[in-house]
Each structure stands twice: as C-alpha cells, then as structure tokens.
Amino acid sequence: MNRIIITVRDEVGVIADISKALADENINIEALNTEVAGEKGVVILTTNESDRALRVLMNAGFRAITDEAMIIRLRDEPGALAKVAEKFKIAGVNIQSMHILNRHAGYANVALTADDEAKAKALLEGEDVL
C-alpha cells in the first residue's frame, strides 16, 4: 500500500479539488477518510496509481509525498514531540526519522519511522494516529 500524504491549509473544498484533480486523469481513489480529511491539515489517501497520482497532485499545486511513515497528530505544545521520543527511548525502539509535516489549528502532524515498526505501532496506541 502506497499512501499519499497531502498537507493542506484550512480551505473549503480542498477534498473536492483533490478528487477532481485525480478524476480528471482517470485515477481512482481507493481510500480516503473523508470524515476528518482537511480539518486536520493533512489528507491521506491511496489510489490505484500512486506514482502518477503524486505527479498529478504536485502539478495541481498540492504538497504531496508518499511515505511509509506513521503519521501522528500531536498537540502543538512545548515538549510534545520530545515526549513521544521519550516513550520510544524507554521502550528501546530507535527512531529513524521524525519530521513535522505541518502545524495546523493547534496541532502538529508528524511523520515518524522507527527501526521496529510493529513495536512502534504498539507504542503509539492511544495517540492520534492518522
């Protein structure tokens, strides 16, 4: 599964714009959580043609990436990221990379990869994983 992660600003109709850009190029969206998409500042979707979808979205002016990373949504407050890092440290799971995708409406969307994905997933239980 190749997920596409799009960081968006708080704009009405952003889902419609994304869908249209893909539909115009005959790319099918396989999964998209429409309930919360947009509001969280990030849209995550899978399509039948990731590579082409990525290009289409970029050309349409979206900031889109594909990433195997786990995406979590944290309150944007001092030390929030460090707290997650600490959890991993205590459990002995190495963080390979931790990137802030964007900060939106009091939250930070963070992409995280670790050396042990299964353990990492378990550690993130209870967090807002997107």
Give me the residues that bind another protein (CB under 8 A), please.
9, 76, 78-79, 81-82, 85-86, 89, 94-100, 103, 108
Q: Which is nearer to another protein, 36 or 100 (CB)?
A: 100
How far is it, in rounded angstroms, from Cα 102 to Cα 15? Answer: 18
Q: Which is nearer to another protein, 30 or 68 (CB)?
A: 68
User: What 8-state DSSP symbol labels residue 62?
Assistant: -
Instruction: Tell me which residue of 104, 36, 119 sits closest to 45, measured CA to CA.
Output: 36
Is 10:105 a contact under the CB 8 Å cutoff?
yes
Name residues whose C-beta falls within 8 Å of residue 101's C-beta, 6 or more positions apart in sequence: 5, 7, 42, 71, 109, 110, 111
Q: Which is nearer to another protein, 32 or 113 (CB)?
A: 113
Q: Which is nearer to another protein, 24 or 115 (CB)?
A: 115
Minimum gap (Å) between residue 99 Cβ and another protein: 5
> Which helix (H) or strand (E) is 4 found in, with range?
strand 4-7
